[in-house]
Chain A
Amino acid sequence: MSAQKSSSENRPIGSGKEGSKSEGADRIPHETKRGSLVVIGTGIRIVGQLTLEAIAWMQIADSLLYVVADPVAEAVIKHLNPTGADSLARYYEEGKLRIHTYNAMVEHILRCVRAGNKTVAAFYGHPGVFAYPSHESIRRAKSEGFPARMLPGISSEDCLFADLGVDPATWGCQSYEATDFLLSSSLIDPSSQLILWQVGLLAELTHKSQQFDTRAMPLLVQKLTQFYPLSHPVTLYQAAMLPGTDPLIVQIPLYSLAEIPITAGMTLYIPPAWARVPDPAMLQLVSLIMG
């Protein structure tokens, strides 16, 4: 990176350039070194989606723990905080239950907070969207009396709305984790949009370093056909992660969903299949009230 500066030189204006790293930044008295936690998101494409606030927090952190998806994001994090940056990706192991991995990450984050560090945990995308360790670490930090909060980031869903040109307000939008949708008995409304996340991880609870098992996909298709015609167009989507590249947007008929390879980063978007039906009774009630 051409602008190789020290961590202190990169700090935002007013953050305490002379070394008082914790002063004022999180409203914690300087003299009482007390651990704190801020969880941030780096966006899906770090080039262009990293917020100023996230940059500032990463620079002033004592411990900057991160789980990111690409080497550019890692380079940015290490540049912003060369001494405090520490990857949590080592907790992923082949075949290991992912919940164990996430709990190990939470424990690591909490250890840093308990040690009195101004701790920042960075996750790709939005740190509160499909991110168990971020929510859980904040919940536990708060329960132990530490200040903890989350800053929003740009999520896959944000990118999806932009890239597919769809608006959740137009027909309404339902959003489920794919395995949750498959295994639950909840009904959906096919006159609304449906987004199924982690469709490439369907019924897969362990970590795989390359390709996840998608043998359950025919069951998902079978369930979806309770609500949609087999020929209904669906879209597989993955946001672009690098500048100058395009998002992955694949339109297929529903029946071929189980026929093509689907990767862990893909999201399934299903447009409405039926028109909305107005509720005449409610329309009448509203007109009586509103005139």
Chain B
Amino acid sequence: MAELKDFLAELAINPKKLGEFIHDPEAAMTKAELSQEDKAALLSGFPSIIYARLAGVPTQQAFQITSSSPIGMQPNVTQIPPYYPIYIVLAPPSYMGQPPYMGPQAQQGPFPYLTPHFVWQPTQPSGPQTGPPQAGGWR
């Protein structure tokens, strides 16, 4: 039985397998002998669930992660009025099918952490563009 991390890593370097996954995710996962738990996590569309599984968090616990995302309940694009409640509890898993789609709000689990590579520094750039904006340049 393949590990979820190895399965995804294989997709990153094998275009044929990535194509199979894009065409039919369930068939590709079945072919790779992913566990039912990992299949459900990957099909959930929730990054925090997938990262939890990648970190070895038990399935039931992974599906109960509370997200602290500011996102609402609509898929993809969400318009948020001010003071919108921000805490969302995900539904428990259903291995018979895909869990209810709740949009991308689970992006902000504890696992996907983008370590920054850049920090602002109080230095002046060099070169010919250091002068003030010219007349007619900006506004």
Contact = CB atoms under 8 A, between A and B. Distances in A.
Interface of A: 1-3, 46-48, 50, 55, 67, 69-73, 75-76, 79-80, 89, 92, 97-99, 102, 123-124, 130-134, 177, 179-180, 183, 186-189, 198, 201, 205, 207, 209-210, 236, 238, 240-253, 255-256, 259-265, 279
Contacts of A189: 138-139
Chain B contact surface mostly = loop
A242 B122 CA distance: 35
B65 interface: no
B76 interface: yes
B47 A241 contact: yes
Contacts, number: 180
B112 A1 contact: no
Interface string B47-82: 100110011000000000000111100011111111
7 contacts: A2-B10, A2-B32, A71-B54, A72-B9, A133-B117, A243-B18, A260-B80
Which residue, of B55, B107, B119, has the highest number of chain A Cβ atoms within 10 A?
Answer: B119
A243 B11 contact: yes
Contact of B12 (A46, A244, A264): A46
Interface of B: 2, 5-14, 18, 21, 25, 32, 42-43, 45-47, 50-51, 54-55, 68-71, 75-84, 86, 103-104, 107-108, 110-122, 133, 136, 138-139
Contacts of B86: 260-261
B50 A50 contact: no
Contacts of A177: 118, 120
B113 A69 contact: yes
B21 A243 contact: yes
B116 A79 contact: no
A207 B113 CA distance: 12
Which residue, of A76, A189, A198, A245, has the highest number of chain B Cβ atoms within 10 A?
Answer: A245
Contacts of A3: 10, 14
A284 to B, nearest CB: 14
B121 A76 contact: no
Contacts of A47: 8, 11-12, 18
A167 B115 CA distance: 27
A226 to B, nearest CB: 12
A245 B46 contact: yes
A20 to B, nearest CB: 23
A105 to B, nearest CB: 9
A160 B13 CA distance: 24
Contacts of A102: 117-119
Given A69-B113, A75-B9, A180 B120 contact: yes
A252 B81 CA distance: 7
B74 to A, nearest CB: 10
Given A134-B117, A238-B107, A249 B76 contact: yes
